[in-house]
A and B are shown apart, each in its own frame.
Chain A
Amino acid sequence: MEKNHEDEGMDREDQELAALLQAVGPRPRPPAGAEASVRAAVETEWRSVVAGRNQRRRVTAGLAMAASAAVAAIALWAASPLSPPRGEPVATVAVLAGSAEYQPAGSNAWETLSGSREIAQGDTIRTAPDARVALALEQGPVLRLDRATRLAFGRDGRVDLAGGAVYVDSDGPGQDLIVDTPFGAVTHLGTQYEARLLPQAVAVAVREGRIRVDGRHGEAMVPAGERLTLTGDGPMQRTVLSPYAEDWDWVASVAPVPAIDGWTLVEFLEWAGRETGREVSFETPAAAEAARTIVLHGSVQGLSPEAALDAIMSTTRLRHQRQGGVLRIGLTATAS
């Protein structure tokens, strides 16, 4: 009988608890995608902290050796990979939006990255959670680093992506650059693409041209309009991603803006089209001819590619319209 009373009491309490929790409702969940992006940023920082601790530990061990055998230890330290000679400049900062830091080769310290800084082989760059950077490489391509990204510059045109995302903008396959990630190496074949580290995978999205990914389990080619997700040991997954999808928006926010003074409108439209993932199409030969003969004066510094496009077009006798992946250019009613 006592047991029955206990059971009844528990049931009643259970019912009260159920009613209370149902009245309160489920706790809010973070929006989709927020967890992955925050995790990538936090994990990058965590890895950086752990790497720094390990490096300090190795240095401490080296100093302990120095106490007993100073000359030998100094020689060992000098030859250690912790202090490689500072390499040749490999890149310069083209755009700095927010705060970023770099760690010179052989140093444990992070220094503030300035807009005029040259990056040398062996250096590592990391962007803050609210910062982005564009770097012009000596061999030609421009790299754009998204928020909370960590990238190290290795030998022979290789960079090592340890967190976040990098966008590669390259004119041709002759510009050697390989992006190494924990899940595979990405080689471009004349392209614009993004390599983004996810918690347990790398996602490589191609906007123009194509790339080759060498993963642990083989090689894959990725054409424009596709995103390939590659895990350490699972199958590769391909999805469609249009060149003008919102996923590319961050890239425009750190686009190096060219000096357009003296450019023809056609040249400007080609730049704007490439930056926004759209193909330029002229409605009529007359419109194309007009674009070839219009010469621009002034500057669009400080404007995003989309804003620059609107600003420039408003000063011409041409009109523009964004239609999916196409930027349609025609003559205004008065011009035609």
Chain B
Amino acid sequence: MTTDRELADRMLAGDQAAFSEFFETHFSRVYRFALPRVAGNEDAAREAVQRAMIKAMRKLSAWRGEATLFTWLCQICRREIFDQARSNRRRADNVVLIEDSAEVRQALEFIEAPASTDPLRQCSRQDLQRIIQAVLDRLPDRYGEALELKYIEGCSVEEISKTMGIGPTAAQSLLARARTAFREALEAVFGASSSDLLSSLEA
């Protein structure tokens, strides 16, 4: 699997396939990051993501790899949304989300680090859904896509392998890693298991 550093280096060298991989891996995820922060305004989210990704291209050679490319893109996007809201006072739909609180952000961006507070108790059902989706977005290596295909769309391993363009064995292995990573991430962010979270959602 290509690391972020390798991907960035290939892009800087002008590798078209690397650009495609970068864009296809990150666009939807950064869009989902932006969307709730502009009150669900799809046009504003698209513009913010476009500005952020263009800025990222300009700064790519200065990216040091201390954060993942996705985290870095989210940081740029958050600043773009903030700057846009500040420069355009007519747009009063800049939204501060619970996951932008320092504790939850730390847990999301450094997913191995446990949160210092209990976000589960602070969250509405809607917040909880969005944060779990944000956790899926932050999982590496298309884990989120594999989990959605398997557990939301009900795809077989065979179908997942075809959709993701990998072999059935690789798909099986990817799913296993994705399950483990997802459970660990939920534990890191919420300090709770999937069954606890399910209970909270159903409460």
Binding site for B on A (CB under 8 A): 13-14, 16-31, 34-35, 37-39, 41-43, 45-46, 48-50, 53-54, 129-130, 148, 199
Contacts and interface: CB of A to CB of B under 8 A. Distances in A.
Contacts of A23: 129, 198, 201-202
A162 B129 CA distance: 41
B132 A20 contact: yes
A17 B129 contact: no
A48 to B, nearest CB: 8
Interface residues of B, number: 48
B50 A21 contact: no
Task: Give chain A's interface secondary structure class.
Answer: helix
B185 to A, nearest CB: 12
Interface string B122-133: 000000110011
B136 interface: yes
Given A22-B151, A31-B42, A38 B14 contact: no
Residue among B60, B179, B194 facing the most chain A CB atoms (10 A cut-off) = B194
In the A-B complex, list the 9 residue pairs whose CB atoms are closest, starting with the nearest.
A18-B151, A21-B151, A50-B14, A45-B57, A42-B53, A30-B31, A45-B54, A38-B50, A34-B46
Contacts, number: 116
B197 interface: yes
A53 B28 contact: no
B121 interface: no
Interface string B43-87: 001110111011001101100000000000000000000000000
B23 A39 contact: yes
B42 A34 contact: yes
A45 B58 contact: yes
Task: Give chain B's interface secondary structure class.
Answer: helix
B51 to A, nearest CB: 6
Given A23-B202, A27-B144, A34-B42, A46 B51 contact: no
B6 interface: no
A316 B77 CA distance: 50
Interface in B2-52: 11-14, 19-20, 23, 27-28, 31-32, 35, 42, 45-47, 49-51
A45 B147 CA distance: 33
Contacts of A31: 42, 46
A186 to B, nearest CB: 23
Nearest to B129: A24
Contact of B54 (A13, A18, A24, A42): A42
A21 B23 contact: no
B152 A38 contact: no
B122 to A, nearest CB: 17
Contacts of A22: 151-152
B201 A17 contact: no
A129 B51 contact: yes
A14 B49 CA distance: 34
A22 B53 CA distance: 31
B182 interface: yes
Contact of B133 (A14, A27, A39, A43): A27
A130 B198 CA distance: 43
26 contacts: A13-B179, A16-B198, A17-B182, A18-B151, A19-B198, A20-B194, A20-B197, A21-B147, A23-B129, A23-B198, A24-B133, A25-B152, A26-B153, A27-B32, A27-B137, A27-B148, A30-B31, A30-B46, A34-B31, A34-B42, A35-B27, A39-B27, A41-B50, A45-B53, A46-B57, A50-B13
Contacts of A43: 19, 23
Contacts of A16: 193-195, 198
Contacts of B53: 38, 42, 45
B23 A26 contact: no
Contacts of A21: 147-148, 151-152
B47 A130 contact: yes
A101 B173 CA distance: 49
B46 A26 contact: no
